[in-house]
Every structure is written in C-alpha cells, then in structure tokens.
Chain A
Amino acid sequence: MISIKNVSKWYGNFQVLTDCTTEVKKGEVVVVCGPSGSGKSTLIKTVNALEPFQKGDIIVDGISIADPKTNLPKLRSRVGMVFQHFELFPHLTITDNLAIAQQKVLGRTREEALDKGLKLLDRVGLKAHAAKFPGQLSGGQQQRVAIARALAMDPIVMLFDEPTSALDPEMVNEVLDVMVQLAQEGMTMMCVTHEMGFARKVASRVIFMDKGKIEEDCSKEEFFGQPRGERAQQFLSKILQH
C-alpha cells in the first residue's frame, strides 16, 4: 500500500531524513516512534507530500509521490490524515468540517456528504455536537471529529501524526479507543505515537527512528521482546519508566 524507498530530506544543510526505506502493507498497522526531533513526523508527512523530499521515492497505492505529474490533491483525498493539533477548520461547524471536502473534492452532494459525515460522527460518539463549532469542543472531542473527518473521505490508508500528544491525559483514551477500533476493523494505518500500550495492542510492526534514520523496523513481538538496538532500548526504558 505504502512503499517508502530511500527517502532523504534536507533543510538547507541539515539532513532530517537519511535514506529511509520501509513498507506498509494493506491491513497493517505500523507504529512509528522515536525521540523528539528524530524525523518521524517529517517522514509521515512525506507520505502525502505535505513535506517535499529531495531523494528517493514513495509509492502510495501504485502512485509515485516524487513524480511531478502526480495529481497530489487527488492522491491526498484518498489518504486520511489526523494531526497533532486536530486542525479542524475553526470557522466551520462540526457538520461542515465533515462535509466540505466530500463536497468540494469528491463532488458528493450535500445530502450524501451529510449522511456519511453524521454516521461517522455518531460512530465516534459525538452526534449531539454536530451543530457546534470546533472551539466549543474539548481537545479529545475535536480529535475524534478530526478522525471522522478523515474517514468521511473513504481513505485507503490513515496517517496519524502524534494524535494524542496535544491532549490532556484524561482525554487520551477516548481517542485511542477510536483508533484501536479502526485497527481491528482492518484499516491500514501508519501512526506516529508514543503510546506503547496502543502499539502492543494493535500494531503489526513497529518502526523506531533516531536522528532521521530508521533504526528498527520489526514485528511488535520482536520490538517489545529482545533483542534490539541500544538506542531503542534506552528510548523504551525512558518512556516506560513510570
């Protein structure tokens, strides 16, 4: 489904991604973790071309990202993305947040878009808030709406960029529950997250990044068991300490 091949990226002289190669197969849930500044958010943003890269290529569902002829908006409309800071559109109601891209990008009618959006809103447990604006919801609620908004586009894969790290602790679980459910239904997912409990529960594979390189890329059993690289060990012991 997603195939990342030798991707390198520089900001000026500073290299943020070094020769990254990995794959996400259909139905897989791949968790990407690593210390801050390791390039994991950058990597996931290259997958739908929100971050350009200078070397290598990424193939999503058979389409090359690096190819200048690729219709990026069309590709992005098939790749769902959930952001750290939710990024709901503050001037639109929850309903319109769910409907606008369906109408303007996929060309669905207002009725179809509303029907689909409200069903998904119900699924994340927020149907009662349909008429509200994003600013009137809590962080956890906003993030659940953001997931529903991405799902409304019928994506073939979902990207999560630290979806819980901007949330207050008591709201983390309501978002993770939705993600777990999604994973169990067989959605293909690539998640940048520090939530190791989530990884243990649903991940097919775990990727560990450090300093722009993919240091570990293995099954979750291997990752959480022995043996593994020293840096990953240090990282795990730090975040699992408490």
Chain B
Amino acid sequence: MGQYQWNWAVIFEEVYGTGEYYYQWLITGLGWTVATALCAWVLALALGSLIGTLRTVPNKWLSGLATAYVELFRNIPLIVQLFLWFFVLPELLPKAAGNWMKQDMPMPEFITAAIGLGLFTSARVAEQVRTGIMTLSTGQKNAGLAMGFTLPQTYRYVLLPMAFRIIIPPLTSEFMNVFKNSAVALAIGLTELTFQMRQITGEYAPANPIEVMTIVSVIYLILAFSVNRLMALIERRTQVPGYISGGGK
C-alpha cells in the first residue's frame, strides 16, 4: 500500500491510442445504467402492479398463477435469470426466432438486461402491492362494492389508490435496488457503469483502481440519493390530509 501512486486525474487521461478519455467511458456507462434501470422500473411497476393485484383477487386460478410467477422470479438469482434470457432462451426458441435474437436483435445486451431486470423486479413490486392491498381493511372493499362498484372498479377507485400511497416507502427501496441491480448486467456484456469501471481498473489503468472505484461509488451514491429525494417528493405530494399511515381501520 505504501508505494501506491495516487493520481486522481487518471479519469481525464486518454485511453491509450483511441482518442477517447476515461471520463467519457464512465459517462457512457452511467447512461446505460440509468437507461436500463428506468426501462426495467417502468416494466416492473406495470407488471408488478398487475401481478400483485391478481394475487389478492378471489379467483383461485388467477391468484395461484400470480403466486407461481412471484415465486419463480424471486427464487432464482438475478444473474442466473439474465443468463437464461441471454444464453438459453435463443436456443429454446424455434430456429428462426433464436437466430434473430442472436444475430439481428438491436442492442441485445441492453434489451435483455432491461427486460430481465424488469421481470425480476416486478415479482418484488408485486409483493409490495399485495401487502399494500392486504393492509386495507375488508371494510373498504365492502364499502366499494356496496356503492355498486364492480370488483375492478373497487380496485381502481378504492383499493389501489390507497395501497400505492401506503407502499411508497418500500417501493422507494425497490427503485433504488433497480439501479444497484443493473450492475449485474455486466455479466452479459452491457457496458454500464460497473462494467466500465472493471474495464478501466482491470486492463487499461490497473495502477489507479482506488481513484476510479471511488468515483464510480460516488456516482452510485448520488443516484441512490436522487431516487430517495424523488420518492420523498412523490410521497409528500400524494399525502392524504388527516390519514395516519399504517392502515388502521
């Protein structure tokens, strides 16, 4: 450790013989990280809300199917899921579709990562949505039905608006998890932030890993902090006057 040569300016150096600079690599990486995380989050929210809602409906088939979905995606590590989508799925599909995935699909790493991460996260979002709905008393559901709402209307106008407000805090940490988990996509070759970091510290500038890793860590901290502030803002905006959180009667 004693002979470590500190050089914080390393990221402004040129990548030998390419005309590019290390900081440009980091910015590209950040771009992919944010793009992947946001796409995955949109997918996870949409699908997770649907699956979580289905888990609470009286129909045994629908709720059973939704439960199976959640268990499947929750009990296999994310990195393995990405491998399945990236390496295994094209082999299982009919030849034409498989070949298309392997050769012609645009941005294969990005699309696989966004969808894979989205599906993985959707199972976790579904659990939160289900918990939120279960927190509400059966009285609320009954009141909705008694007004003449159909079951879908009762979910739309009565149960879900409250359930989503209740689960904003756990959704915040899921949103932060999406950014963190997007790093796993480096395993299928997505050139996101951690991938760039590994590339720089591993092959290109192995002399100064601490500086590069510190900078990347700080970027992740800033991302996490931003998500946290954004969700806090949403929570404040959607707060219901006079309602003490935690359900109650």
Contact = CB atoms under 8 A, between A and B. Distances in A.
Are A and B close enough to touch in the complex, i.e. CB under 8 Å? yes
Interface of A: 45, 48, 50, 72-81, 83-85, 87-92, 100-101, 104-106, 132-137, 149-150, 153, 166
Interface size class of B (residues with CB under 8 A): 20 to 34
Nearest to A80: B146
Given A50-B142, A100-B157, 4 more contacts: A90-B240, A133-B241, A133-B242, A150-B147
A133 B243 contact: yes
A91 B161 contact: yes
B241 A135 contact: yes
Interface of B: 137, 139-140, 142-150, 153, 157-158, 161-162, 165, 240-244, 249
Contact of A74 (B143, B148, B249): B148
A58 to B, nearest CB: 15
B157 A104 contact: yes
A79 B146 CA distance: 8
Given A50-B142, A104-B157, A90 B148 contact: no
15 contacts: A50-B146, A73-B149, A76-B145, A81-B143, A85-B137, A85-B249, A87-B137, A87-B140, A89-B157, A89-B158, A89-B162, A90-B242, A105-B148, A135-B241, A135-B242
Contacts of A150: 146-147
Contacts of A78: 148
Nearest to B163: A91
B95 to A, nearest CB: 48
Contact of A87 (B139, B150, B242): B139
Nearest to A88: B143
Is the contact region of chain B dominated by helix, strand, or loop, or is it mixed?
helix
B240 A83 contact: no
Given A89-B140, A104-B157, A48 B146 contact: yes
- Among A45, A83, A106, max chain B CB count under 10 A is at A83
Nearest to B162: A91
Contact of B240 (A45, A76, A104, A135): A135
B161 A87 contact: no
B137 A135 contact: no
Given A83-B139, A105-B153, A153 B243 contact: no
Query: Which 7 A-B pairs give the minimum distances between C-beta atoms?
Result: A135-B242, A77-B148, A87-B143, A136-B242, A101-B147, A81-B146, A105-B148
Given A83-B142, A83-B143, A87-B142, A73 B240 contact: no
A50 to B, nearest CB: 5
A91 B145 contact: no
Contacts of A50: 142, 145-146
Contacts of A80: 146
Contact of B149 (A79, A90, A105, A135): A105
A73 B161 CA distance: 20
Contacts of A134: 242-243
Nearest to B140: A87
A80 B148 CA distance: 9
A133 B240 contact: yes
